[in-house]
Amino acid sequence: MNMRDEPDFEESCEESLSGPFEDSESKPHHLELRAGGALLAIEASAGMRPVLIYAGPDISGITGEELALLATRQHAPGTPSIPLRGSLLNEIGTGISGPSGITGHREGQDWALDLRVVSTKMVNGKSIHVRCEDKKARIGTNHVFEIDASTGMLRSSTSVDNIGDAPFQIDWCAALCLPFDQRLERFLSFTGRWAQEFQIEEVALFNGSIVRENKSGRTSHDVFPGGILACRDTTEQSGLALGFHLAWSGNHKLRVDRHSDGRGFLQLGELLFPGELRLEAGERYQTPQLLSVWSQNGTNGIAQAFHRFFNDTVADPRTRNKPRPVHFNTWEAVYFDHDEDTLIELAKSAASVGAERFVLDDGWFGGRRNDATGLGDWWVSEDVFPNGLHQLVKTVRELGMEFGLWFEPEMVNPDSDLYRTHPDWVLGADSVEIVPFRGQLTLDLTKKEVVTYLFEKISKLVNEYGIDYIKWDMNRDTHHPGSEGKGAMHRQTMAVYGLLDRLREKHPALEIESCSSGGGRADYRILERTDRIWTSDNNDARERQIIQRGAAHFFPLRILGSHVGPRRCHITGRELPMAFRVGSAVFGSMGMELDLRDESEEDLAILKAGIALYKKHRHLIHEGSYLALPSAKGTNLVGCVARDKQEAFFSYAKLETDLATLPQRIHFAGLDPAKDYQLRMIWPETNPSISSPSIVDQADLQGKGVRISGAALVDFGVQPPLTFPDTCLFYHLRAFE
Ligand code: GLA
């Protein structure tokens, strides 16, 4: 097993790790990193356990020594006679009573690890490397920390070296045991299910452990590898918060432990199956990277840091400055019922309302006429497209759109040529029946020949049709991913990354969307090699408002796919007006996914106007500072403010009828209190108010608008008009020079 597959971050550190380390001294040795408003202080003295003294918002002027002194813990009766200060992994040998960050053994030996600092290194003042070893157990660890200068995002990870002669079994290794501030009493977790992703579930003050485990073989719908810790009074806009995320697309475990002695630790790492990770002599295991960031300005500070970190550091330079195109996706328009004439007709209507990219979804290949057949047979179906996709692609291009194609590379249907030829190419645990799931099985990508097959098939199609975009789907949980008798989810996940990387290298212009039955594979590791997330299969605008609000805590709007669905939502059966459907798709990477032939002329005109509005303002939506504002029950208020505060765009969605006589006032945020703004309501196109007078006509909001100071818009706010539910209002604000 090659355990040397490492994330880019670790690779970039490799040079310095393998170089000579500074000699550590015998007196306490403190290392500090300060950047982007965050501070990290580590005590790493030779021969001692490394201690993470502080990680959090910067405290100006303080030194590592002072922090170490302030971190002194009083001796408590009935506890060990010496202070237990913990370690970067709180291993069993440290005596810390809570769960260890690393567990493993060598055939039942070497299980009580006690990792001591061997050397440290500060690289360019930007990252800290700590090398530890347990010389008796013959295990070494390398801990790397880096803080992003513009956002304060801390990136940390650990690699484990087997420096002994016999194999070492790793059962668990967190990226880090991250201590957190005692005042962070609330845990906001992100959970849900298919078509209900990114739902916030809050756990109030607790003692003990919250453990969330994902063994679905993908990032998952129900256990997002991340969350937010907040104080009792933290809001969207104020208070201390810690946001964290494990950049990993396979199985994971997240645990938040609050000990009775007041300490709290966070651990995230890969969830390993029994025996899955056996390090042979000389091998290394690299954990995924933990991203963590602190905000003194509530949860919006967390979201803004993640968005900026993505835009500046993770986003591919190719897409960073390219306006995110409007999609037309064929799935809910035709499902598996493909035929060239219909698709061409849809392409024409899509272009006429403003689509810029046409994505042909599931159903175009092999014998794929329903979801039980054809996966794996990656060639254009001759039955459906006797002349290939050429005519369709040509029309799409002539209409000025890019062409995208759906794939689900990691999967195979038993009813396929691929499976009939290679029934041994699937993952599975010996003697355990595979759990049925959408009639498909997971291919074993740890086998080189499988990856080669997929690479060649996809690459051929990309070349033949000049495909601009791939929607890369993955539609089943992989319950017992065995290969050659061993647990293989780690290797499978790395192989998926490898395949994507190979394709991107071969086709540098290709953009890729990460989809997994909607938002089941949304994480920062997949985003190092993909450009968009399909946030959810749920195109019900009312529910989508909440899903997008949840997802935006971690992901910027520019990558959150958000489509205008059909009048009667296919998942909830709810009927929604076009103006609301359109309005709800604008705060994201906008698209459409409906049969345009079913829409009235009037609704098509509304759709076209909404798309034009998105195009006009997408720079602001995608590059401004995102704000999710306190929203009264049954409403959703979010906004984007330009970095220079010259312009702002807010969306107020009313999802239910009011309990009160009138809706709560809207308090805008993020504006310059000293500037005057022209306030206008630019959506819907007609006055949505169901009674009069209202501020819409009194202040001519849909006409010239009104001049108001930033201070008044924030502190006094405006009364939104009384409207029916399923209404979405956009307010536009432009500052006077
Ligand atoms: C998944 C995706 C959908 C669609 C179908 C096709 O469910 O999330 O958007 O692509 O697969 O089978």
Determine the distance separating the centroid of ligand 1 and the alpha carbon of 74, expressed in angstroms: 56
Average pLDDT for residues 523-545, to the nearest whole number? 98
Kind of pairing between the strands at 676-683 and 727-735: antiparallel
- Give per-residue burial for 75-99: e unless 16+ CB within 10 Å, then b: eeeeeeeeebbbbbbbbbbbbbebb
Residue closest via CA to ligand 1's atom 7 equals 517
Q: Are 205 and 193 in contact (CB under 8 A)?
A: no
Give me the catalytic one of 444, 537, 603, 676: 537
What is d(CA 521, CA 535) in angstroms, rounded to the nearest whole number? 9
Give me the catalytic one of 473, 540, 603, 676: 473
Determine the distance separating the centroid of ligand 1 and the alpha carbon of 309, expressed in angstroms: 29
Is 537 noted as a catalytic residue in this protein? yes
pLDDT value at 689 more than 90 = yes
pLDDT in tens, 268-325: 999 999 999 999 999 999 999 999 999 999 999 999 999 999 999 999 988 999 999 9
- How many domains is the chain built from? 4
Q: Which residue, of 284, 314, 344, is where some domain finishes? A: 314
Percent pLDDT > 90 in the chain is: 93
Query: 484 to each of 1, 426, 454, 494, how far by Cα in Å?
Result: 12, 11, 20, 17
In DSSP terms, 168 is beta-bridged to: 279
Is 473 noted as a catalytic residue in this protein? yes
Average pLDDT for residues 674-698, to the nearest whole number? 96
pLDDT value at 545 more than 50 = yes
Determine the distance separating the centroid of ligand 1 and the alpha carbon of 473, expressed in angstroms: 7
Q: Are both 101 and 250 inside the same structural domain?
A: yes
pTM for the predicted model, two decimal places:
0.96
Residue 77 lies in a domain: no
Closest approach atom of ligand 1 to CA 518: 8
pLDDT in tens, 158-168: 999 999 999 99
Q: Are both 604 and 462 inside the same structural domain?
A: no
Determine the distance separating the centroid of ligand 1 and the alpha carbon of 457, expressed in angstroms: 20
- Which CATH number fits the domain that encloses residue 96? 2.70.98.60
Compute the C-alpha angle 632/636/642, nearest 5°: 120
pLDDT of residue 26: 59
- Tell me what the pLDDT averaged over the chain comes to: 95
- Give per-residue burial for 612-648: e unless 16+ CB within 10 Å, then b: ebbbebbebbbbbbbbbbebbeebbbbbbbbeebbbb
Ligand 1 binding pocket mutation candidate from 221, 332, 406 (most atoms within 8 A of CB) = 406
Residue closest via CA to ligand 1's atom 6 equals 362
Average pLDDT for residues 339-343, to the nearest whole number? 98
Q: Rounded to 10 degrees, what is the CA torsion of 330, 333, 336, 340?
A: -70
DSSP 237: S
Q: Are both 524 and 576 inside the same structural domain?
A: no
Average pLDDT for residues 658-667, to the nearest whole number? 91
The tokens describing 274, both together, are 């029994």
pLDDT in tens, 58-85: 999 999 999 999 999 999 999 999 999 9
pLDDT in tens, 90-137: 999 999 989 999 999 999 999 999 999 999 999 998 999 999 999 999
**Most distant CA pair in the chain: distance in Å?**
83
Determine the distance separating the centroid of ligand 1 and the alpha carbon of 626, expressed in angstroms: 28
What is d(CA 456, CA 460) in angstroms, rounded to the nearest whole number? 6
pLDDT, greater one: 595 or 5: 595
Q: Are both 292 and 346 inside the same structural domain?
A: no
Ligand 1 binding pocket mutation candidate from 218, 329, 361 (most atoms within 8 A of CB) = 361
Determine the distance separating the centroid of ligand 1 and the alpha carbon of 721, expressed in angstroms: 38
Determine the distance separating the centroid of ligand 1 and the alpha carbon of 64, expressed in angstroms: 51
What is d(CA 192, CA 18) in angstroms, rounded to the nearest whole number? 43
What is d(CA 253, CA 400) in angstroms, rounded to the nearest whole number? 45
pLDDT of residue 207: 87
Closest approach atom of ligand 1 to CA 515: 8
pLDDT value at 571 more than 70 = yes
Q: Are both 400 and 459 inside the same structural domain?
A: yes
Average pLDDT for residues 699-708, to the nearest whole number? 98
Q: How many CB atoms lie within 10 A of CB 704?
A: 10
Q: Which residue, of 534, 553, 574, is where some domain finishes? A: 534
Residue ranges around ligand 1 (CB below 6 Å): 331, 361-362, 406, 473, 475, 515, 517-518, 534, 537
Residue 2 lies in a domain: no
Q: Are both 142 and 242 inside the same structural domain?
A: yes
What is d(CA 580, CA 643) in angstroms, rounded to the nearest whole number? 28
Let me know if 182 is exposed, middle or buried by CB neighbors in 10 A (0-12, 13-18, 19+): exposed
Q: Are both 262 and 376 inside the same structural domain?
A: no
Q: Are 428 and 217 in contact (CB under 8 A)?
A: no
- Which CATH number fits the domain that encloses residue 437? 3.20.20.70
- Which CATH number fits the domain that encloses residue 671? 2.60.40.1180
Q: Are 354 and 403 in contact (CB under 8 A)?
A: no
- Give per-residue burial for 485-512: e unless 16+ CB within 10 Å, then b: ebbbbbbbbbbbbbbbebbbeebeebbb
DSSP E strands, 138-279? 139-147, 154-162, 168-179, 186-193, 196-203, 208-214, 226-230, 241-247, 252-258, 264-270, 277-279
Determine the distance separating the centroid of ligand 1 and the alpha carbon of 281, expressed in angstroms: 43
Query: 694 to each of 183, 686, 688, how far by Cα in Å?
Result: 44, 13, 10
Q: Are both 321 and 309 inside the same structural domain?
A: no
Residue closest via CA to ligand 1's atom 2 equals 517
Residue 78 lies in a domain: no
Q: Are both 240 and 192 inside the same structural domain?
A: yes
pLDDT value at 12 more than 50 = no
Residue closest via CA to ligand 1's atom 4 equals 331
Helix (H, G, I), strand (E, B) or coil at 16: helix
pLDDT of residue 467: 98
Ligand 1 binding pocket mutation candidate from 329, 514, 517 (most atoms within 8 A of CB) = 517
Ramachandran region, residue 499 (left: φ > 0; alpha: ψ -120 to 50; beta: rest): alpha
pLDDT in tens, 367-404: 999 999 999 999 999 999 999 999 999 999 999 999 99
Closest approach atom of ligand 1 to CA 371: 12
Ligand 1 binding pocket mutation candidate from 362, 368, 477 (most atoms within 8 A of CB) = 362
Q: Are both 341 and 193 inside the same structural domain?
A: no
Q: Are both 719 and 579 inside the same structural domain?
A: no
Q: Are both 148 and 204 inside the same structural domain?
A: yes
Instruction: Give the residue numbers spanning the domain of 107.
Output: 7-72+85-314
DSSP 98: S
Residue 80 lies in a domain: no
Residue 1 lies in a domain: no
